[in-house]
Structure 1
C-alpha cells in the first residue's frame, strides 16, 4: 500500500485518484499518523441485477411505466388530462 501525506494529496488530488483508479490503495497520513485510506471501488451488482442474472425475475418487455389508469378507466383518457380538468374545475369555483 502506498503512503502519501495530506499535503501531497491536497496539492495533487487528481494524481492520487488516478493511482487509485489504476488499482493502488493509498494510505493518507497527517504528520505521520494515518487519517484515511483510499481504495478502488468495486462495483457490486445491485439486487435487481442479481435477480435478473439468477433468472428469478425477468426484465420488462417495454421501458417506462404501464398505462394502468387507461386500463382501469378507458373512458377518462390519460391521467394528466384528468388532472388538468380537475384543476380547471377548482379554479372556476
Structure 2
C-alpha cells in the first residue's frame, strides 16, 4: 500500500486516482496520521454468482434448450403455427 500526504493528494488528485485505478491502494495521511484509504472498486458479484458460489444454486447439467415433447399437450398447436396465424391476422387488418 502506498502512503501519500493530504497535501500531495490535494495538489495532484489525478495521480492518486490513476494509481488506485491501476490496483494500488493508497493510505492518505494528515500530519502523519491516517485519515482515509483509497482502494480500487471491485465489481460486486451478481446474485446468481453468489448463489452458485454458496451452493444454493447449481449450473445446468446440459447447455441449450431442452427438447420439447409434443405429446405433453397434443391439443395445443405448435408455436410455429401460432406465430403464422398471428402474422396472417395482422396482414388482414
- Taking structure 1 as the reference length, the TM-score comes to 0.51
Post-superposition offset of 1:50: 5.3
Give the structure with the larger helix fraction.
1
Which segments of 5 or more consecutive residues in structure 2 lack a partner in the other structure?
52-56, 61-93
Large movers: runs of 4+ above 6 Å: none
Which segments of 5 or more consecutive residues in structure 1 lack a partner in the other structure?
57-93
Once the two structures are superposed, residues 14-63 of structure 1 have per-residue CA deviations (whole angstroms, 9 ceiling, x without a partner) of: 11000000010100000000000011111112326656x9559xxxxxxx
Q: Tell me how many residue pairs correspond in the alignment.
A: 56
| 1:18 corresponding residue in structure 2 | 18
For residues 54 and 5 of structure 1, the distance between their equivalents in structure 2, rounded to whole angstroms, comes to: 48
| 1:3 corresponding residue in structure 2 | 3
For residues 26 and 36 of structure 1, the distance between their equivalents in structure 2, rounded to whole angstroms, comes to: 8
Decide which structure has the larger Cα Rg and report it.
Answer: 2
Root-mean-square deviation (CA, aligned residues, Å) is 2.3
For residues 9 and 49 of structure 2, the distance between their equivalents in structure 1, rounded to whole angstroms, comes to: 36
**2:17 counterpart SS class:** helix
For residues 50 and 5 of structure 2, the distance between their equivalents in structure 1, rounded to whole angstroms, comes to: 39
Question: Which runs of structure 2 are paired with 1:14-93 in the superposition (5 Å)?
Answer: 14-47=14-47
